[in-house]
Amino acid sequence: MKSGFVAIVGKPNVGKSTLLNRLIGEKVSIVSPKPQTTRNKILGILNEPDYQIIFIDTPGIHKSHNKLDEYMEKSIKVAQKDVDVLLLMIDGSKGIRQNDLDFVRQYEKSSQKVIVLVNKIDTTTFEKLYPDLAKLNSMSFVEDIIPISAKTGKNVDVLLNKIKSLLTDTTIYFDEDMYTDKSLRFMVAEMVREKALYLLQDEIPHGLAIEVVKMQDIDGVMHIDIDIICERKTHKMIIIGKNGSMLKEIGSRARIDIENLLGQKVYLQLFVKVKEDWRSSNYYVTDFGYDQTDL
Ligand SMILES: Nc1nc2c(ncn2[C@@H]2O[C@H](COP(=O)(O)OP(=O)(O)OP(=O)(O)O)[C@@H](O)[C@H]2O)c(=O)[nH]1
Ligand SMILES: [Mg+2]
């Protein structure tokens, strides 16, 4: 039996969470077309007869502007500290640029094994990609460069085999029926945030926090009350929508995912609250209980 920790690191929106879900075969981490979707480090545990591989999804690397950003930055640091393998993900759809090369180069001295993933190859051609891949060839500290599509699954098997060949640990770290370290409460909140990210425009989604207020099983039906916290009154109006239409849409889409997650009927009630500038306080960390152990 072999085991190991593997962190997925990269800029926002490159497809890290999509890859995690593809590797685990479950919806572990939410995905959206908007950058900075993931806010915490999230473990996805792959259990196979001869392997236990613990993948760690991380927030996209970006500059810190507030306490939430600082929290996200810290979780990236913690996530990559003690892993065996680092997957550095680049978005290949727009070609490999200088800042992508600079990002990879930062890991030159790292003690972990480094694999570079060029993602979204379903959106480009091999002819376009090939000269770009060559730019990475001079980086001898890189174990492998693998063009993949997290969306279609292309080359994900190649990646998995490569990771397996690098693992040396034999400790089993988690129960074999676990596929994530996150609580159901956390996952439920994330499902709601995902729908809000898809449905709401521009800056509003980044100012949202989701709090599960109640989760109670009554005669086999899970009753869930959730507060959607936003930063302005004007945002609250938009989240509620005309005659409550937006909130209803977020709720009905989230309910489908939550029912799949819990495997039972769900009665979901959403409430919208305003908490100005919460991202600049420790609100996310303290009120949501995401303390140091959640980093
Ligand atoms: N075409 C294509 N789109 C992809 C692929 N992988 C991810 N995407 C899309 O890229 C967008 C971002 O995906 P995420 O998985 O949320 O990206 P992320 O790197 O986790 O983003 P953050 O959490 O914000 O850092 C979504 O719209 C995905 O559907 C891929 O292989 N091909
Ligand atoms: Mg993500």
| Amino acid, single-letter form, for residue 152 | T
Q: Does 290 have pLDDT greater than 80?
A: no
Closest by alpha carbon to 59, among 98, 84, 85, 89? 89
CA distances from 279 to 69, 148, 153, 189, 235 (A): 8, 34, 35, 17, 15
Closest by alpha carbon to 11, among 83, 141, 122, 102? 102
Tens of pLDDT, residue by residue over 191-238, are 999 999 999 987 788 899 999 999 999 999 999 999 999 999 999 999
Check residue 281 and give its pLDDT.
Answer: 84
Reading the block at residue 23, the tokens are 């590797």
Contact 40, 51 (CB under 8 A): no
184-294 fold: GMP Synthetase; Chain A, domain 3 (3.30.300)
Q: Taking residues 12-27, report their average pLDDT.
A: 97
Ligand 1 centroid distance, CA of 14 (Å)? 5
- For the chain, the structural domain boundaries read 2-166, 184-294
Longest dimension (CA), the chain: 62
- Residues 76 and 73: their CA atoms lie apart, in Å, by 5
Q: Does 111 have pLDDT greater than 60?
A: yes
CA distances from 16 to 73, 166, 207 (A): 15, 20, 21
Check residue 31 and give its pLDDT.
Answer: 97
- Predicted model pTM: 0.95
Tell me, yes or no, if the two domains 2-166 and 184-294 fold the same way.
no
Check residue 205 and give its pLDDT.
Answer: 85
- Residues 205 and 102: their CA atoms lie apart, in Å, by 29
Q: Does 101 have pLDDT greater than 60?
A: yes
How would you classify residue 277: left for phi > 0, otherwise alpha for psi between -120 and 50, otherwise beta? left
Reading the block at residue 255, the tokens are 């309910």
Q: Which atom of ligand 1 is nearest to the CA of 35?
A: 24
Q: How far is CA 251 from the centre of its chain?
A: 21
Confidence of residue 294 (pLDDT cuts 50, 70, 90): low
Residue nearest to atom 9 of ligand 1 (CA): 15
Closest ligand by atom to 121 CA: 1
- Residues 40 and 26: their CA atoms lie apart, in Å, by 18
Q: Is 38 exposed, middle or buried (0-12, 13-18, 19+ CB in 10 A)?
A: buried
Ligand 2 centroid distance, CA of 13 (Å)? 7
Q: Does 291 have pLDDT greater than 90?
A: no
Residue 205 near ligand 1, beta carbon < 6 Å: no
Closest ligand by atom to 18 CA: 1
Confidence of residue 287 (pLDDT cuts 50, 70, 90): low
Q: Does 292 have pLDDT greater than 70?
A: no
Q: Taking residues 281-288, report their average pLDDT.
A: 75
Q: How far is CA 36 from the centre of its chain?
A: 9
Tens of pLDDT, residue by residue over 54-65, are 999 999 999 999
Residue 15 near ligand 1, beta carbon < 6 Å: yes
Check residue 201 and give its pLDDT.
Answer: 85
Contact 235, 272 (CB under 8 A): no
Check residue 36 and give its pLDDT.
Answer: 93
CA distances from 243 to 221, 229, 233, 246 (A): 27, 19, 16, 8
Pick the CATH number of 2-166 from 2.60.260.20, 3.50.50.100, 3.75.10.10, 3.40.50.300: 3.40.50.300
Residue nearest to atom 6 of ligand 1 (CA): 15
